[in-house]
Structure 1
Amino acid sequence: MSEFQRVQREFTQFIRDPDHRTAPQGIESRRLGIYRDLFFNNINSFLSNGFPVCRSLYSDVDWDVLVRDFMIKHQCASPYFLKIAEEFLEYLQSQRSGLDIDPPFLSELAHYEWVELALDVAEGDLPAAGDMVDDILSGHFRLSPLAWPLAYQFPVHLISVDNRPQNADGEATYIVVYRNRADSVEFLEINAVTARLLALFDEAPSPSVGELLRVIAGELQTEVESLYGFGTELVSQLVSLDILIIAEP
């Protein structure tokens, strides 16, 4: 290791963990303090803005400790600043051991907030909206690439400072987060049947709505005719929200 590499390593170690690492010799302490605070405050600000609900659940002191622990334990694999949110999520999922100050839903809530960030900056645009087919049952649709169906143990979209569930109730929460043609990121709470239907729409090739409803009817062990009204109304809503887009058969 060259002298430059040694100093560089000591410097980065100190910036990450100033309470337990020795500062490199020959650098003015005032300058080191500026760099130390600048790095921490930038990452802290980015995470606070990117995960606002998570941030609201912690005191200032506890949040600062969490951010510092992230800086110490996690080795970021990407040099891009926008990837910090994804790196923070990975830290929470694989390196953050369950502490008393952490809510049981922390990892799921952070994932939900990260999805909103990821969709906001995701590349790609939706095709121009076509005319709605007259017979929805014979129509062919597919899941928008900017629509992500999700399932959680906790109702993450309802969590706030005043609503902190301590235990999952055993019922999964299904949500689809999507970016519409106005480039606005929205969410829609759905049920298990709708989640299954969206999964079928995401498969290729694209069957007709009627064919997919027959699959659903078989899984529910019910008559497909009983799903036609529900199915056509639901598909119309999902198309209007830009969650489903028209596909070629």
Structure 2
Amino acid sequence: MSKQPPERLLELQRRFAAHLRDPEHAPAPEGIEERRLAIYRRLFFNNLSNLFARNFPVIRRLHEDADWQALIREFLAEHRSHTPMFTEIGREFVDFLERRGESDPEQAPWLAELAHWEFLETCVRLDEAEVAPDGWLESLEADDRVQVNPTLCLAEYRWPVHRIGPEFRPEQGEATLLAVYRQGNDRVAFMQVNPITARLLQLLRGDEQATAARALERLAEELERPVDELLEASRDLLATLARRGLLRRA
């Protein structure tokens, strides 16, 4: 039974896409002028390379040009994305590096986590939640009912990803908790936090009617510590979180 035109078209599209992803190993479909193919190949590769360079600027600076191009080509040839969403392509790059790290001993052990950190910054930047341009206070009392910045994301890493760059490539792991969020001026900010602060933010975010005192009482129960002690110790912390734009009066 001969193939119907839609089937032939689908096969042509698959061969064309395979060639664009991996021109060295996937032959181009017959009947397409090489000059045009070269333009498609160049545009396809450069667009993705430039997109990843903007969304993963630290990783880009860590690679020489040739190494960066080889990494992007490997992504195109080896990885199959699970979403057509353009804004989600960064997540696919994170997944690629995670799987690559499991089989490639030469990949830096912190590279996938660094990619996740950089992608998280992009997610916060694109978060549609509205952040009040003002009202993030210089101080906050325990009895105040509070609101957590709606763009807040907490992430735990085995490496100090926020410090990695051309001048610092860690050789030993360091447990790191980071809070990343968008400020009222639309700038992305981050703060390194300890597990107690992270848990406090989680408790406050999970209860819209919570006061700082109520969340601290729950935290004291979890930690099996005196409530008064935790309330007193938290005064400077609450002020810092409010000043940094993580908490505000509801």
TM-score (norm 2): 0.88
1:202 aligned partner, one-letter code: R
Name the counterpart of 2:3.
none
For structure 1, the 5+ residue unaligned runs are none
Q: Give the match's secondary structure for 2:142.
A: helix
TM-score (norm 1): 0.89
- 1:189 equivalent to 2:223? Answer no
Identity across aligned pairs (percent)? 34
Name the counterpart of 1:216.
219
Name the counterpart of 1:77.
82
CA distance in 1, matches of 2:112, 2:136: 41
After TM superposition, give the deviation of residue 90 of structure 1 in Å. Answer: 2.2
CA distance in 2, matches of 1:91, 1:31: 29
1:214 aligned partner, one-letter code: E
CA distance in 2, matches of 1:218, 1:151: 23
CA 189–213 in structure 1, closer or farther in 2 if over 3 Å, else same: same
CA distance in 1, matches of 2:40, 2:104: 29
Which stretches of structure 1, 4 residues or longer, exceed 6 Å deviation after superposition?
none
Once the two structures are superposed, what CA deviation does each residue of 1:61-93 show, in whole Å capped at 9, x if it has no partner?
A: 222222112112222233343222122122223
Residue 93 (structure 2) aligned to one of 66, 71, 88: 88
CA distance in 2, matches of 1:136, 1:103: 44
Name the counterpart of 2:29.
24
CA distance in 1, matches of 2:204, 2:140: 17
Which deviates the most, 23-32 or 159-168? 159-168
Q: Give the match's secondary structure for 1:177.
A: strand
Name the counterpart of 2:54.
49
Which deviates the most, 37-46 or 211-220? 211-220
Instruction: Give yes or no for contact 1:149–1:198 (8 Å, CA) kept in 2.
Output: no
Which deviates the most, 61-70 or 106-115? 61-70
Q: Give the match's secondary structure for 2:84.
A: coil
The total of aligned residue pairs comes to: 245
CA distance in 1, matches of 2:220, 2:11: 66
Which deviates the most, 203-212 or 153-162? 203-212
Q: Give the match's secondary structure for 1:188.
A: strand
1:2 aligned partner, one-letter code: E
The alignment yields a C-alpha RMSD, in angstroms, of 2.3
Q: Give the match's secondary structure for 2:234.
A: helix
After TM superposition, give the deviation of residue 201 of structure 1 in Å. Answer: 1.0
After TM superposition, give the deviation of residue 131 of structure 1 in Å. Answer: 8.5
CA 42–134 in structure 1, closer or farther in 2 if over 3 Å, else same: closer
- 1:64 equivalent to 2:77? Answer no
- 1:114 equivalent to 2:119? Answer yes
- 1:179 equivalent to 2:186? Answer no
Name the counterpart of 2:154.
149
Instruction: Give yes or no for contact 1:104–1:167 (8 Å, CA) kept in 2.
Output: no
After TM superposition, give the deviation of residue 126 of structure 1 in Å. Answer: 2.1
Instruction: Give yes or no for contact 1:176–1:187 (8 Å, CA) kept in 2.
Output: yes
Once the two structures are superposed, what CA deviation does each residue of 1:192-234 show, in whole Å capped at 9, x if it has no partner?
A: 2111111111212532211222222333333222222332222
CA distance in 2, matches of 1:101, 1:222: 46
- 1:199 equivalent to 2:202? Answer yes
